[in-house]
Amino acid sequence: MSEQWIFWFEELGTGDNDRVGKKCANLGEMTRLGLRVPPGFAISIDGYERFMAETGAGEEIRRYVQENREHLKEVKHQILASEAIRNIIESKEMPPGMREELFRYYDQLKERTGDRELSVAVRSSGAVSMPGQMESYLNIRWKEAVIQKVIQVWGSAFTTRAIAFRLEKGLAMEKAPIGIAVLKMVEAKSAGVVLTVLPTSGDLSKVIVEGNWGLGESVVSGEINPDQFIVDKNDGTVESTVHRKPKMVVYHDGGTITAPVPMEIQEKPCVDPEELKEIVRIARQVEDHFQMPQDMEWVLDRFQSIPDNLYWVQARPAKYAKVKEKEAEYLAELMTRMFKM
């Protein structure tokens, strides 16, 4: 276990996946590429291991798993295990040395941003891909609240879904290779996702952008029908579908709430043509860098103008359907499915 367990994003790159998790490593890589990433730092997997060792939580979890291993194949016992293990973790205080180090980085982040009342996102960053399995917290303000949310993110590595995932993949139950990203919140005018491939068809000649007013959580969670823009990579033509967007996620009292969108903008596109063009340009640049289609999350700051208002908070390889290159390949697969019925 290395002594350093907190890193600024600019100290990281994709090679640090096993050190800080995929999200943090990619945020570091984007920072190095010169993309606008909200300032922040990463808490490494070593930080999690240190907390578990110094508080004794790790040993308590190991004992619990050993005593209950035979029952953990049943869902009801997975639910009980999640509650018990999370209680073990969240009942512990942050060790004094770790607390001081976290406070120091948080204070330095306030200095870097010039924001004395800094609000941050505390986001999980798994070294093993477990989409949607662990929790993240938005609009967290003040040191003690950040400490609390860091511990809760560590605890969320043991949700019922995460425990089931570990069992399915044959992973060690008592281990949780999880990092955490702590980054400045952006005052979002609108936010969403961009994929440099059409996920349902595997069409690599298109970019799809989806978004809503406010923070991006309403888009990622599927709570609303977002605006959708399909952009041709070759000629830049845009196919737009603008939905009525009655709800959005906004900041509220050290967290977020779902609020009504003002009537006058509910049916207006959440990005203008120049913003859309810049989102697509940057996404294609990142696709070229990683040499694979990307799934990225963007945020537009309401106090700035394009291109300075475009920030990136996630980049990962896109999941998409395989394109059937030949009709014969499609027919062969279809016949195989028929014979299996």
Q: What is the mean pLDDT of residues 106-119?
A: 94
Residue 128's pLDDT is 67
pLDDT in tens, 240-260: 999 999 999 998 877 889 999
Strand partners, 297: 193, 314
- Looking at CATH, the fold of the domain delimited by 6-184 is given as Dna Ligase; domain 1 (3.30.1490)
- Reply yes or no on whether the pLDDT at 327 is more than 90: no
Same fold, 6-184 and 188-317: no
Long-range CB contacts (< 8 A, 24+ apart) of 2-7?
2/44, 2/46, 4/44, 4/46, 5/43, 5/44, 5/46, 5/47, 5/50, 5/98, 5/101, 6/41, 6/42, 6/43, 6/44, 6/47, 6/101, 6/102, 6/105, 7/41, 7/42, 7/44
DSSP 116: T
- Reply yes or no on whether the pLDDT at 133 is more than 90: no
Give domain limits for the chain.
6-184, 188-317
pLDDT in tens, 205-238: 999 999 999 998 888 777 789 999 999 999 999 9
Class of domain 188-317: alpha beta
Range scoring the smallest mean pLDDT among 65-74, 81-90, 307-316: 65-74
Range scoring the smallest mean pLDDT among 95-99, 173-177, 182-186, 198-202: 173-177
pLDDT bracket for residue 100 (50, 70, 90)? very high
Q: How far is CA 336 from CA 323, 324, 327, in A?
A: 17, 15, 14
pLDDT bracket for residue 171 (50, 70, 90)? confident
User: pTM here?
Assistant: 0.86
State the first-to-last Cα distance of the chain, in angstroms, to the nearest integer: 52
Range scoring the smallest mean pLDDT among 80-94, 235-249, 315-329: 315-329
- Reply yes or no on whether the pLDDT at 77 is more than 60: yes
pLDDT bracket for residue 337 (50, 70, 90)? very low
User: What percent of the chain clears pLDDT 90, i.e. is strictly above it?
Assistant: 73
